[in-house]
């Protein structure tokens, strides 16, 4: 896979020289090209930004500079990959569509990705409009928090996509086991993990993991993953296809529900000792479940 990244901080991507991504590059699985955006400025100050039309805080990145840079990088890539090759343009922005494991799997099938991480208040919106007519162009966000620029988001996406490429992950782990990957443990969080020693500072490794009984171990791991998901990401449980849950899973959910009810009513009776806490069954098991934060076990 070819990856081009245009930024005013290309040095931000030094981490792509080490570890898994570094090896993927050495093996030629990942072909990453970094570009300094200022190389496409023509003034003595290498200006890439200007004041926003309509006023307001901060500065906006100039369309001309990005236009020249993206055109040049596409030409550069085409010289290497063939005249009809075109990249998928990915622009990180807090107002983008969520970047998920599903999107990572989609990008991993692409032969060529071009990332345009911005700074300041972002890039003049005509750039995405312009390339949206010529390329598959995505504005994506890696999460509901605000970064100072798009570079960190590109690092996250290149690693999430790069580790999915054939030959990158050793066979120790297959991506099929990933959380959020399609399949049995889809949309369940990873459960707890342990290694030697069997006792550490008085903390013991769960007996079942030392049993060598693969069936019980698999069941225990699934139960722990389900409990952790119910506790930390109940909205993911609601997304589980019910047919994928067996009787034991349902029991685990009911148990979790009962414990949650006990805690809720205990909290309620503490809060209002006289109020009759008419506990109603936990939403997780009501059709159309969507967990509200206050429902999550505190």
* Number of residues engaging ligand JD8 in binding (CB under 6 A): 18
Which DSSP letter does residue 205 get?
A: P
Number of helices (H), then strands (E), belonging to the chain: the values are 8, 9
Q: Residue holding tokens 């055109």?
A: 71
Span near ligand JD8 by CB under 6 A; candidates 135-143, 186-194, 211-219, 251-259? 135-143
Considering only 11, 43, 83, 146, the residue that binds ligand JD8 (CB under 6 A) is 146
To ligand JD8, the closest distance from the beta carbon of 87 in angstroms equals 18
Residue number with CB closer to ligand JD8 (157 or 164): 157
Span near ligand JD8 by CB under 6 A; candidates 70-78, 147-155, 207-215, 259-267? 147-155
Residue number with CB closer to ligand JD8 (141 or 187): 141
Determine the Cα–Cα distance for residues 66 and 292; give it in Å rounded to an integer. Answer: 42
Query: Is residue 180 left, alpha or beta, with left meaning phi > 0 and alpha meaning psi from -120 to 50?
Result: left
87 as an active site residue: the answer is no
Span near ligand JD8 by CB under 6 A; candidates 11-19, 41-49, 87-95, 178-186? 87-95
To ligand JD8, the closest distance from the beta carbon of 151 in angstroms equals 8
- Residue 135 contacts ligand JD8 per CB under 6 A: no
| Distances 24 to 30, 169, 177 between C-alpha atoms, Å | 5, 9, 20
Q: Where are the beta strands (DSSP E) in 109-195?
A: 112-115, 137-141
Determine the Cα–Cα distance for residues 42 and 130; give it in Å rounded to an integer. Answer: 21
Determine the Cα–Cα distance for residues 298 and 284; give it in Å rounded to an integer. Answer: 16
- Residue 34 contacts ligand JD8 per CB under 6 A: no
- Residue 149 contacts ligand JD8 per CB under 6 A: yes
Query: Is residue 215 left, alpha or beta, with left meaning phi > 0 and alpha meaning psi from -120 to 50?
Result: alpha
Structure tokens at 112: 């060529």
- Residue 56 contacts ligand JD8 per CB under 6 A: no
Determine the Cα–Cα distance for residues 297 and 255; give it in Å rounded to an integer. Answer: 13
The catalytic position among 163, 228, 233, 259 is 163
Considering only 71, 121, 190, 223, the residue that binds ligand JD8 (CB under 6 A) is 121
- Residue 130 contacts ligand JD8 per CB under 6 A: no
255 as an active site residue: the answer is no
Considering only 41, 48, 69, 92, the residue that binds ligand JD8 (CB under 6 A) is 92
Q: 3-state DSSP call for residue 114?
A: strand
DSSP lists the bridge partners of residue 114 as 4, 89
Considering only 153, 160, 185, 237, the residue that binds ligand JD8 (CB under 6 A) is 153
Active site residues: 94, 121, 163, 178
Contacts with ligand JD8 by CB under 6 A lie at 92-94, 96, 118-119, 121-122, 141-143, 145-150, 153
């Amino acid at each position: 896979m070819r990856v081009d990244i245009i930024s005013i901080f290309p040095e931000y991507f030094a981490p792509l020289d080490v570890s898994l991504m570094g090896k993927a590059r050495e093996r030629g699985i990942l072909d990453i090209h970094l570009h300094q955006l200022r190389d496409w400025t023509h003034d003595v100050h290498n200006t890439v930004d200007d004041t926003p039309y309509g006023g307001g805080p901060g500065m906006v990145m100039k369309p001309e500079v990005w236009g020249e840079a993206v055109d040049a990088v596409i030409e550069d890539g085409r010289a290497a990959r063939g005249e009809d090759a075109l990249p998928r343009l990915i622009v990180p922005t807090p107002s983008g569509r969520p970047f998920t494991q599903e999107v990572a799997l989609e990008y991993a099938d692409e032969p060529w990705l071009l990332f345009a991480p911005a700074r300041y208040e972002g890039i003049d919106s005509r750039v995405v409009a312009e390339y949206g007519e010529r390329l598959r162009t995505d504005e994506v966000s890696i999460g509901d928090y605000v970064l100072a620029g798009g570079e960190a988001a590109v690092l996250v996406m290149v690693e999430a996509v790069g580790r999915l490429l054939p030959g990158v992950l050793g066979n120790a782990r297959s991506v099929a086991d990933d959380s959020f990957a399609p399949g049995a443990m889809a949309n369940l969080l990873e459960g707890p993990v342990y290694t030697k020693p069997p006792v550490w500072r008085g903390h013991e490794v769960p007996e079942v993991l030392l049993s060598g009984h693969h069936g019980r171990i698999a069941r225990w791991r699934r139960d722990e993953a389900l409990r952790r998901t119910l506790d930390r990401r109940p909205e993911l449980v609601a997304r589980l296809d019910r047919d994928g849950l067996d009787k034991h899973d349902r029991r685990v959910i009911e148990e979790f529900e009962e414990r949650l009810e006990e805690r809720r009513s205990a909290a309620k009776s503490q809060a209002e000792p006289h109020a009759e806490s008419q506990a109603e069954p936990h939403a997780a098991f009501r059709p159309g479940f969507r967990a509200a934060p206050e429902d999550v076990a505190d």
